[in-house]
Chain A
Amino acid sequence: MHYDIIIIGMGLAGLMAAKTAIEAGQRVLIIGKGMGSLCLFSSTIDVLGTLTAPMKMKNGLSQWIQHHPRHPYSNMGVEKIVEALSSFTALFPSSYSFRSINDGNCLMLTGAGTLRPTYLIPTTMLAGNMLEGRQGLVVGFKGYKDFYAHYVAAPLKCQGMTLSLPESPREEMTAAAVSRLMEKQPFRERIGKQIRERKNGATWVGFPAILGLHDPIHVKKDLEDAIGAEIFEISTLPPSIPGQRIFARFKEYLIQKGATWLLGHSISQASLNGKRCEMVFVSNPPVLTSYSADRFVLATGRFVGGGLAATQEKIFEPIFNLPVCQPASREHWFGKTFFANHPIHQVGIQTDPCFRPIDDKGDVLLENVWLAGSILAHHDSIGEKSREGIEIATGYMAAKRALEK
């Protein structure tokens, strides 16, 4: 089968690239090996978490770009980053939408009981930003082991409450199972009543981010009516229900727009002709299927997504064997302590300003392959708190650049 453009990778970067291409009228194939890190970690959209609160994101990004000329953001400029973020938020026009608070970062409560800075926040989490001076309550569920209400509540000096679930005889519940229960009206009614009776004057109630997959706004509103307090979600350990909501929305949109959606199988090899990629092979043993295209976007992530892999000595890129910008030897991969900066978190593929892969001399290696997302070199998205921002921005831009050629 032949396509105008093939997107390799189904994380945020790949999904944004696919959205951008299909809106430009392209015949799009998107291939994902698995659901990737979007469904594990993402809930809010980090763009540059290191900026302190009163600074506007636009100004902060301008300064950042001045000081980090090789950073992926610097390849596109502030305006295009803003454009990409608007393209992302436009996908969520209904009640479950994303917005920033005062155009800058704000501090959100996490499932570890800490506050972390982030930029775009889904409607279900917004109320978690204005907690000061108000009495609150954090609710968890017995058997749902990824969220401990008292642990989250303690640093805030508010109440914690752990509800028992008779639905869970083994006393073990996954995020997906609790989230599904939340979508059932009788369940909400029951826990709503329990919480109302014991809320002790709390004006807000924080839940782990499990208020249903399909209609969290309805779940939130229904619980607010039942409890008589404002409710919000608190992002917690993987897998992430809010991340899955984002994934599901992209999936629905792309399939309805006519993209070919291929989830579950990896690319085993690519076929090149000089500096052009002609086709990729998807492996589903014993069958190897080839797909050809005029353009390709590689958005396979770093290690979790499988975009990069490592031997004992060396980090490599498995599909095109592109050169990976990395420390000289393994002993320099890691910092001395767990929370130190780890050079391995900056490895990736170097590109020209148009996101095409280059070698050490700066020569373009593949003329019709554009790179997007975490696989890019010269960023430390963990330290910078910029993961979703980089993925959205570069996914959007890589597709734009690809379509210019």
Chain B
Amino acid sequence: MDSKVTKEETWPKRNLDVCTRCATCVAVCPVARVTPLFPGPKQAGPGAERFRRPNEPSVDKWIDLCIGCHLCDMVCSSGVNISELNLIAKAKYLDEKGRPVRDWLLTHTYLFGRLASLLSPILNPLLQNSVVKWILDSVLSIDQRRQLPRYQSPTFRQWFRGDRFESDKKVAYFYGCYANTNEVDVGKATVQVLEANGFEVVLPPQKCCGIPMLGNGDFKEARRMGLWNVPSLSKAVSSGLELVFSSTSCGHMIKHEYSHLLEIPGAEKLAQHTFDLFEFLRNLNGSGNFNTHFKPISKKLAYFAPCHLRSLGIGFPAFEILRLIPQLEIDFIDADCCGLGGTFGFKKEKYDISQEIGKDLAEAVARLKPEIVLSDCEGCRMQIRHLTGLEVLHPVQVLRDALEKEG
């Protein structure tokens, strides 16, 4: 009962009547493009919304196929919040139908991240083991064709505890679960780049941002994470620090969904001081305070802009910054949505759709023939590795390499 009241209070203004039915959103929807099972954002969002009544049960069986990329919102000339309408409808459908244990497991990995890191020597081989994967597939419907993330030890937080650069200029960092336990070097590189620009990095206490829960329509759990994070992060901000994030998904959640969709007290103020890492660096560059003592890197790279970066509405700052590195050849990958959609692509019933969406990206990468692919989102990186077999990094890892002193 409690959560229901909250949800109704926090749901946004329904602006579906400004939809002119132009169908631009249908043209870009990655899911509708590959499967007729999803009717597309126009029908699923403003179209079906007209028939939804709060007291009637949800009949939108296909709503769970919305991957949550926000691309429909981005291309709409009328400003309809299509993906939000979809997400709310998804929440209602799954609240009524009930969620499988699998979805709880996939969205609560933060609970066992540290333990998994500690046990990584045993756990990693198990997670790659085909028998284990077969069991996960048949019991939990986590698709066995999907690579499961490996855990690393020590964690980013443990690494950070060493002797750190100190300075009057300080910046707070939201590293996110994945950088903490699965891709520790992304966290390290972020700290190293910020330090190379004269900043002392501060890690405010933080938990999972909650985007996995929100993506699965679990507003209650997502809100719980936000209610924990906002006061902790706000404390850093109140002491005069800006907050940067290296994961565009976590960042989008903190900066936009916390306030707009979940109405967490204090989130609006926090958002004003929260920046994508490369947006922060681009601002430094704009004011002439960016360390550009780069050594040349002669490599051919390709950059993929994640969906959540697009909906942050800041352009492609990582692409702009990396172009400053001498000799670096970097192409922009002409593709929308990698198809992983966070936990979406791990689910057995959605794996094929996820892969089919990813094919367009894989083909775009194949046309460019890069040595390394870059993307700011851990989900995209996982998917691009899976699709192409190439080395895939966060742009900050390349920037760090360019800033490293020779020899």
Contacts and interface: CB of A to CB of B under 8 A. Distances in A.
Interface in A4-42: 29, 33-37, 39-40
Nearest to B367: A214
A260 B331 CA distance: 15
A1 B282 contact: yes
Contacts of A180: 33-34, 360
B311 A264 contact: yes
Nearest to B319: A255
A239 B74 contact: no
B318 to A, nearest CB: 12
A60 B305 CA distance: 45
Nearest to B23: A239
Interface stretch (B48-56, B97-105, B166-174, B254-262): B254-262
B316 A261 contact: yes
Interface in A256-314: 256, 258, 260-266, 282, 284-287, 289, 304-306
Given A34-B75, A264-B73, A264-B310, A287 B33 contact: no
A52 interface: no
Given A33-B79, A306-B78, A39 B27 contact: yes
B277 to A, nearest CB: 16
Contacts of B291: none
B333 to A, nearest CB: 10
B209 interface: no
B74 A287 contact: no
A258 to B, nearest CB: 7
B146 to A, nearest CB: 23
Contacts of B32: 174, 176-177
Interface string B278-299: 0000110010000000000000
Contacts of A285: 256, 259-260
Interface stretch (B130-138, B224-232, B235-243, B265-273): B265-273
Interface residues on A, range: 35 or more
Nearest to A260: B315
B77 interface: yes
B349 interface: no
A176 B337 CA distance: 15
B79 A266 contact: yes
A252 B312 CA distance: 20
Interface in A143-183: 167-170, 172-177, 180
Contacts of A77: none
A238 B36 contact: no
Given A172-B36, A252-B334, A263-B75, A304 B259 contact: no
B271 A287 contact: yes
Contacts of A172: 36, 39
B77 A167 contact: no
A350 interface: no
Contacts of A265: 313
A382 interface: no
14 contacts: A1-B282, A34-B77, A35-B24, A174-B26, A177-B33, A177-B34, A238-B24, A256-B332, A261-B315, A262-B314, A263-B75, A264-B313, A286-B271, A306-B79
Given A177-B36, A305-B77, 11 more contacts: A34-B24, A34-B77, A170-B37, A180-B33, A238-B23, A238-B24, A239-B26, A256-B331, A260-B315, A286-B268, A306-B77
Q: Which 10 A-B pairs have the closest CB atoms?
A: A264-B74, A34-B77, A265-B313, A284-B313, A239-B27, A286-B268, A260-B315, A35-B75, A176-B27, A286-B259
